[in-house]
Amino acid sequence: MSATEVMEAAQEPLTLTMNNGQTISFKSNISIEADEIPIIDISGIYSENFEDRKAVAEKIREACHRIGFFYAINHGVDPSLTEGVFEQAKRFFNLPEEKKMEVCTDLQPEEYFGYFPMSLYNRNNKKYSDLMEAFNWGYDAKYDPMATDKDKDIPHKNLWPTDVPGFKETLHAHHTTLLGLARRLMRTFALALHMPEDFFDDFVVHPEAAQRIVHYPIQEQSVDDQHGIGAHTDFECFTFVSQDQQGGLEVLSKSGYWVKAKPIPNSLVVNIGDCFMRQTNDFFVSTVHRVINKSGAERYSCPFFFGFDRAKLLEPVASCVSEDNPFKYPIMTSGEYYLWRAAKAKEKEPEEAK
């Protein structure tokens, strides 16, 4: 079906409930190809010239206000680091189930790290559970070139499998590079919000920087009955997604259609998460997305989630509030917010909904 045919066939709004309790509506469950997600060359963020940095920031401002998603190209991440992570992902997910269960996320129930077995969740109460498995790890000061205290206690514990040589090192090498890019991009986001460039620097000295590898088998069920990962929004400030060439990530546009975020080699898909949406009083939009792997091949992806230090308050950014536009959200720390979201995400649905 072409995009026009999908739009013409659309009838009354369809709805679904996400695991943060929010109900969303959309016009058709068939996704379309559309040029709604802008491609932004971000090489200017490395320029010594302020005007170059500001020019990238203005493009990001428009994208994050309109759709909350963009492709970053020329971001400076060495493609061999990303390829290394994808190789390790294939290796890890091929391990026997009992080996993967040694680092099961249930070992640390209040956090969102470790191994998430296949079909563990059903984010939107579909007939079949979400067809994905994942392994999550988080910030560790030992691997942070900017950390002054390499032994700083982190609130979570990373759960690493034993006897998988090179796994942790390869994943951390990629994480460290994305951490550098994320801190730099935080400065671009500050400019995008018309704030001083260093405005967020103190918020990301010990950031929340979680990363995951995800495996989506080929989905046989219809898109009405199953997702790879159900419709959701991300918790933190922003996310970088490295994806392979299979496709499957879909973004819910303001017009109510699922738009395919088609793979662009060596790009990063960047999207706004709920913390940034809250702090910017909805100026940046945290857009609902999902994955459905109907490509006919296994799909792998690697999202990196970047947010503020857990101790920092999610207070409004001054440029996003005024007397006519007061702050809409209760003020809490980033940590309180992440843990609340992790608890909601880990709530298992009642058995009969599966």
Sites of contact with Fe ion (CB under 5 A): 234
Termini Cα distance of the chain: 30
Place of tokens 């996003």: 320
All residues at 6 or more sequence positions from 39 whose CB lies less than 8 Å from its CB, including other chains: 70, 71, 73, 264, 267
Query: DSSP string covering 179-228, please?
Result: HHHHHHHHHHHHHHTTS-TTTTGGGGSS-EEEEEEEEEPPP-S-TTT--S
Q: Give me the 244-263 binding string for ligand AKG, x by CB under 6 A, dash otherwise.
A: -----x--------------
Of all residues in the shown chain, the one whose CB is closest to Fe ion is 234
CB of 159 to ligand AKG, least distance (A): 18
| 3-class DSSP string for 20-61 | CCCEEEECCCCCECCCCCCEEECHHHHCCCHHHHHHHHHHHH
CB of 147 to ligand AKG, least distance (A): 26
Q: Give me the 187-216 binding string for ligand AKG, x by CB under 6 A, dash otherwise.
A: -------------------------x-x--
Out of 159, 179, 191, 241, the residue judged to bind ligand AKG by CB under 6 A = 241
CB of 282 to ligand AKG, least distance (A): 20
**Is 250 in contact with 269 (CB distance < 8 Å)?**
no
CB of 25 to ligand AKG, least distance (A): 20
Chain center to CA of 249:
11
**Is 314 in contact with 333 (CB distance < 8 Å)?**
yes
CB of 85 to ligand AKG, least distance (A): 13
Under the binding rule (CB under 6 A), the answer on residue 158 touching ligand AKG is no
For the purposes of burial, counting CB atoms within 10 Å of the CB of 349, is it exposed (0-12), middle (13-18) or buried (19 or more)? middle
Out of 75, 126, 289, 310, the residue judged to bind ligand AKG by CB under 6 A = 289
Conformation bin of residue 40: beta by default, left when phi > 0, alpha when psi is -120 to 50: beta
Out of 68, 230, 303, 316, the residue judged to bind ligand AKG by CB under 6 A = 303
Under the binding rule (CB under 6 A), the answer on residue 100 touching ligand AKG is no
CB of 162 to Fe ion, least distance (A): 29
**Residue placing its CB nearer to Fe ion in the complex, 239 or 316:** 239
CB of 289 to Fe ion, least distance (A): 6
For the purposes of burial, counting CB atoms within 10 Å of the CB of 72, is it exposed (0-12), middle (13-18) or buried (19 or more)? buried
242 DSSP β-pair partners: 302
**Residue placing its CB nearer to ligand AKG in the complex, 27 or 341:** 341
**Residue placing its CB nearer to Fe ion in the complex, 69 or 86:** 69
**Residue placing its CB nearer to ligand AKG in the complex, 56 or 285:** 285
Out of 243, 281, 286, 293, the residue judged to bind ligand AKG by CB under 6 A = 243
Q: Which does 89 bind (CB under 5 to 8 A by kind): Fe ion, ligand AKG, none?
A: none
Q: Which stretch binds ligand AKG (CB under 6 A): 45-53, 57-65, 103-111, 241-249?
A: 241-249
Under the binding rule (CB under 6 A), the answer on residue 32 touching ligand AKG is no
**Residue placing its CB nearer to Fe ion in the complex, 187 or 289:** 289
Structure tokens at 297: 């091949």
Out of 137, 301, 307, 317, the residue judged to bind ligand AKG by CB under 6 A = 301
All residues at 6 or more sequence positions from 255 whose CB lies less than 8 Å from its CB, including other chains: 27
Q: Which does 301 bind (CB under 5 to 8 A by kind): ligand AKG, Fe ion, none?
A: ligand AKG
Residue numbers 323-342 binding ligand AKG by CB under 6 A: none
Structure tokens at 301: 């992806």
259 DSSP β-pair partners: 32, 251
Residues interacting with ligand AKG, by CB under 6 A?
A: 212, 214, 229, 234, 241, 243, 249, 289, 291, 301, 303
